Amino acid sequence: MSLKRFDGLVAVVTGAANGIGAAIATRLADEGARIAVIDREADSLARSFSGLSSESCLAFAGDCTDQTTLSAFAVQAREKLGPIDILVNNVGQSARERGGPFLGSDENVWRFVLEISLMTSLRMTRLLAPNMKARRFGRIVNISSDAAFAGDPGLVDYATAKMGLVGFTRALARELAADGVTVNAVAPGAVATRAHERIAPEILERLRRDTPVGFIAAPQDVAGLVAYLASPEARFVTGQTILIDGGRWML
């Protein structure tokens, strides 16, 4: 990677052990950032970032839905790496095996999906954004989903949480714009992650057919867009939600 846009900067990425989160954290590190990453999958987290030195990477195993865990992670990240310049709120998931039509769904499942896909981002931002504001610089990127726009059947709770991130992004961007902190969202469509291993081949083929470019993205495709939004080049971009879904949903 020839670009070094993040030399001297510190980035936090949640849900970074695999897939999109790991690709984002790797891209930021490749461009010079010191990174702090958190995920509940300790072994995967260690494997994903084993090539980085302890001076440039904090890998923290913990549950992002737990406030105490997030607070401890934030403290360790600042103490080890310095003030946080970039926050990527990536952690989130659908109900997966517990998902299905809304009229047959259970409130406990909704609460889980809202907790992990929306509330974690609010909590992590609340922990880190005040220092960004005080230092008059920061980049916050929230990972939403094109499911929030397309309204995919069986994903009512997930679409609700991910559209909540869009509203959060817009309102917070207005609050922090004058303080040098930008807030944007990225809404991926079909991306080849471990979740696809549990999807039937015929559904994956339908996803491919429904994507105008004709293929399913790699996590690195999303990482490239996030890296731009986190960079100094994007200083005039805030409050935006950018879909990266091969043209499935067009604004």
Could you tell me which residues are beta bridge partners of residue 184? 141
**For residue 200, what are the contacts with CB-CB under 8 A and spacing of at least 6?**
none
For tokens 């080049």, name the residue: 233
DSSP three-state, residue 58: strand
CA pair distance 135, 10, nearest whole angstrom: 13
> Is the Cβ–Cβ distance between 125 and 164 less than 8 Å?
no
Q: Give the catalytic positions in this structure.
A: 158
Sheet architecture: strand order including 181-188:
57-61, 34-39, 10-14, 86-89, 138-143, 181-188, 241-244
Element of type H or E holding 25: helix 19-30
Chain-centre distance for alpha carbon 80: 22
DSSP three-state, residue 197: helix
Distances (CA, A) of 94 to 36, 69, 206, 238, 242: 24, 22, 19, 26, 20
